[in-house]
């Protein structure tokens, strides 16, 4: 799955069913969208949970901000390198970050923090 296809899929699901469902679907299907290198240096695509959470969080914020689909998909926040603002290269390269969401280590207090979407429960 290309980066654009991933973003379009997330956007459609966020608009139709919300961010929680979008992340649940990504985790259920685990699409290979992040291109990395294997031990021989050959590129291959794999699922990356921290990046998946980041892009769901980012799209949800942009949709909540009132952007059109075009505005969301062309927003610089959705660039493939954007997660490096919140995480170091070493953290994103870790097996832990690929398998499970790892909270941001680089954002300062008071700055937006990528988080896993949660369902609001009625009281």
Biggest CA pair distance of the chain: 54
Q: Is 41 exposed, middle or buried (0-12, 13-18, 19+ CB in 10 A)?
A: exposed
Give the pLDDT confidence score for residue 123 in this predicted structure: 47
Does position 121 have pLDDT exceeding 70, yes or no? Answer: no
Confidence of residue 120 (pLDDT cuts 50, 70, 90): low
Mean pLDDT of all residues in 71-96: 95
Domain segments of the chain as ranges? 3-96
- Does the predicted TM-score (pTM) go above 0.85? yes
Cβ–Cβ < 8 Å for 112, 61 = yes
Q: What angle do the packed helices 49-64 and 3-17 form, to 10 degrees?
A: 50
């Amino acid at each position: 799955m290309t980066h654009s296809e991933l973003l379009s899929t997330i956007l459609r699901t966020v608009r139709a069913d919300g961010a929680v469902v979008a992340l649940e679907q990504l985790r259920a299907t685990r699409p290979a969208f992040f291109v990395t290198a294997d031990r021989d240096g050959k590129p291959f695509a794999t699922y990356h949970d921290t990046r998946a959470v980041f892009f769901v969080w980012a799209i949800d914020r942009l949709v909540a901000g009132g952007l059109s689909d075009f505005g969301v998909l062309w927003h610089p926040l959705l660039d493939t390198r954007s997660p490096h603002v919140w995480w170091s290269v070493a953290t994103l390269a870790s097996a832990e970050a690929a398998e499970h969401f790892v909270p941001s280590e680089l954002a300062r207090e008071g700055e937006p923090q990528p988080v896993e979407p949660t369902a609001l429960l009625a009281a």
